[in-house]
Chains A and B, each alone.
Chain A
Amino acid sequence: MQKVSEKVIARARELMHDGTVSKVVGWKAGEFFYDCEPNVFETEESLKDLVYNRFCGANLSKYMIKNSIASGGEGAGKVLVLLKPCDTYSFNQLLTEHRIDRENVYILGVGCEGMCDIDRIRERGFKGITGVLEADSGNELVITTLYGEGKVNIDDVLLNKCDSCKGKAHKIYDELISDNEDEGPRGDRFEGVRELEAMSPEQRFAFWQAELSKCIRCNACRNACPACSCRKCVFDNNASGIASKANTDSFEEKMFHIIRAFHVAGRCTDCGECTRVCPQGIPLHLFNRKYIKDINDFYGEYAAGEEAGQRGPLISFTEQDIEPGHAVVKGGN
Chain B
Amino acid sequence: MSVNVSVNEPAVKAAAENAAGANTENKEWRPRIVAFCCNWCSYAGADLAGSSRLSYPADVKIIRVPCSCRVNPMFILKAFERGADGVILCGCHPGDCHYSTGNYYTRRRMALLFSMLDYIGVERGRTRVEWVSAAEGARFSAVMNDFVAKITELGENVKVGDLRCKK
Asked if B112 and A265 make an inter-chain contact with CB atoms under 8 angstroms apart, the answer reads: yes
Residue of A nearest to B123 (CB): A201
Q: A209-B167, A317-B101, A319-B104 are in contact. Are A197 and B95 (CB under 8 A)?
A: no
* Chain A proximity of B154: nearest CB distance (Å): 11
Chain B residue nearest to A331 in the complex (CB): B115
Q: How far is the CA of A299 from the CA of B107 in the complex (A)?
A: 12
User: Please, which residue of chain A has its CB at the minimum distance from the CB of B163?
Assistant: A213
- Judging by beta carbons under 8 Å apart, are A208 and B121 in contact? yes
A295-B112 in contact (CB<8A): yes
Closest chain A residue to B120 by CB distance? A208
Determine the distance from Cα of A60 to Cα of B52 in the docked complex, in whole angstroms: 62
Q: How far is the CA of A239 from the CA of B87 in the complex (A)?
A: 23
Q: What residues on A are CB-neighbors of B164 within 8 Å?
A: 213, 248, 253
Q: Is the CB of B81 within 8 A of A251?
A: yes
* Chain A residue contacts of B77, Cβ below 8 A: 251, 254-255, 258-259
| CA A322 to CA B122, docked complex, whole Å | 21
Q: Which range contains the number of B residues in contact with the other chain? A: 35 or more
Q: How would you classify the secondary structure of chain A's contact residues: helix, strand, loop or mixed?
A: helix
Cβ of B69 to closest chain A Cβ, rounded Å: 10
Q: Please indicate the chain B residues that have their CB under 8 angstroms from the CB of A291 in the complex.
A: 112, 116
> Contact: A204 with B129, CB < 8 Å?
no
**Chain B positions 102 through 129: 1 when the CB is less than 8 Å from some CB of chain A, otherwise 0:** 0011011111111111111111100111
Within 8 Å of chain A (Cβ to Cβ): is B73?
yes
Could you list which residues of chain B lie within 8 angstroms of chain A, going by C-beta atoms?
Answer: 73-74, 77-78, 80-81, 94-95, 101, 104-105, 107-124, 127-129, 159-167
Q: Could you list 28 examples of A-B contacts with CB < 8 Å?
A: A201-B121, A201-B122, A212-B163, A213-B164, A249-B162, A249-B165, A252-B162, A253-B163, A254-B160, A255-B81, A259-B74, A290-B119, A295-B112, A298-B108, A314-B109, A317-B101, A317-B107, A319-B94, A319-B104, A321-B94, A324-B113, A324-B128, A325-B128, A327-B115, A328-B111, A328-B118, A328-B127, A333-B118
